[in-house]
Amino acid sequence: MLPYQTPYTPQPRAVDRLDELIVRIATSIAALFCVTLLLSWVFTQDSSLLVRAVNPAVVAAVGAVMLVRGEPRAIVQLIVGAATFVIHVGFIDVTARSGGLFGLLSMGIVGALLVERRRVAYLAGTGVALAAVAYWWNVGDSAPATRASEAVSPALAYLLTATLVICLRVGLERESAAHRDAAAALSASEDRFRRAFEVAAAGVALVSIPDGRFLQVNQAGCDLLGYTETELLGMNVQDVTHPDDREESLKRFRMVALGEHASSRITVRYVRSDGTTARALISAALVKDSDGRPSHMVAHAVDTTELHATQQRLTDLVNSKDQLISSVSHEIRTPLTAVLGYAELLRERWAGPPTAEQVEMIDDIVAQATALANIVDDLLVAARAETGQLHVSREAVDLRAEVAAVVENLGRQSHTAHIRLCGSGVYALGDPARVRQILRNVISNALRYGGDAVQVVLSVHSDQCCVVVADNGTGIPEDQRELVFAAYERADPAKGLTPAIGLGLTVARALARLMDGDLVYKYENGQSLFDLSLPLAPGADIGMEHAAPGSVPGSREAPA
């Protein structure tokens, strides 16, 4: 509801007010006329004045009774007045019959205006009564045919005039009813709006144009700003807007006020009455009047202070987590590098031939340290990827050489599977270290979770290099195939291999896409296929055999 509007209160009907007004006026006039006649009788002692006072006295008495009871009915007063008037003129003041007929005609027409039900019966009865009275008053004064004509003429004139009056009243009643219905509907609509305005959980304010003063603010808006509605009605929007946001807020306000935009949505900081800062998402729209001119603006404010604080805490937690992973990874990598270096030196420079047990122990140290180093690499890549700090170089990479290196390294950790390498040299455009990390993660994933036979097939398609890692495992259910690329998702590993932390495929896909490639999973012909695509290095001498998993002529087998 707009501030200048008031709730609709049903008003008495115009006809009801007219009914009461007529009774009051008629009662007052009749009482005054009666008192005048009585005073004249006192001074003149003319007994005829007392007789004449009977008719107004009856009319005044009937009106007074109805007014006291609170049920004024002008039609009743008219009927009583007409009856006493007919008797008086018919038996006492016979010389006033010509004027009396006009008086009765006027009374009947006024009654037609006031009657509410059975209008046809009223017209018929009153017309017949008027004709009968006119005929009675003319008895003995003229011939029967003349008396009948003089009786019918006023009755017909009355019926015509009274019918017209009734038609006018019916039209008036219909217009009044339509007006009442429209007013009631408007009142109900305004009442619904007022209730919705008052109880809305979000802040709602009506703002004037062009000065931005508050016209009305609901309770939620007052709670958001920390002011009472009375205080806010003496302020404008800029008074409560944070100084750093006033320029942008005013710019958006003007754009909507001038009709450049139908609405506006902006997050703004507000200064509460206690000096604290609140944040709110403001949706503002222009309201126009019936002539299409700007009337005012309605603004909805949703308090986002807690949401912003929660988001900031979440961001801080993520940054803290990433910093922790990065810091711990670097701290682990330093001693781990030393362990790997000394293990390699120990294996190469052993004084005298080492025993089989010593060789096995050194190999285990190297393998476990390498595996731990790989985990550290994945953690670093994941942390940098989330913060947008991961970068790659671009150079030609021999995919077959990288696959062979990865297979050789993984062969130290598994004795249960063989890896077949199919295809000759393929040169991709990418970062050698990151390509090696992708291949290591995908192939080790096949060893952990796939079947007992793994193939790596190199091929070229158009301007893309493809590396397909296939295994004969049971495969991944269709509804979980994208889930394997989610962080920290993992299945049960193959026998003899320790479970991974669930970052390998996540990191592999992220690195592939960072180098303008991709990594996808498919299950075809009883095989799980991880298909890695990378851009083909420009000017690379491919010279390879295009092959597919399963039947590769001239393929070589690399033991794992």
Instruction: For 202-259, give the DSSP string.
Output: SEEEEEETTT-BEEEE-HHHHHHHT--HHHHTTSBHHHHB-GGGHHHHHHHHHHHHTT
List, in order, residues 6 or more apart from 500 with CB less than 8 Å away: 375, 444, 445, 448, 490, 493
The answer for 61, left when phi > 0, alpha when psi is -120 to 50, beta otherwise, is alpha
Q: What is the pLDDT of residue 553?
A: 31
* Residue 410 and residue 444 in contact, taking contact as beta carbons nearer than 8 Å: yes
- Length, in residues, of the chain: 560
Residue 523 belongs to what H/E stretch? Answer: strand 518-524
Whole-structure pTM value: 0.43
Residue of 496, 520, 396 lying closest to 447 (CA atoms)? 496
- For the stretch 381-432, pLDDT in tens is 766 666 666 778 899 999 999 998 888 877 765 554 578 888 877 899 999 9
Between 472 and 101, the more confident residue is 472
Q: How confident is the model at residue 2 (pLDDT cuts 50, 70, 90)?
A: very low
Compute the mean pLDDT over every residue in the chain, rounded to the nearest whole number. 78
Tell me the per-residue pLDDT of 48-80, one tens digit each, with 9 for 90 and over: 778 778 888 888 888 888 888 888 877 787 788
- CB distance 216 to 299 below 8 Å: no
Predicted pLDDT at 548: 40
What is the distance in angstroms between the CA of the first residue and the CA of the last residue of the chain?
Answer: 80
Structure tokens at 357: 């047990």
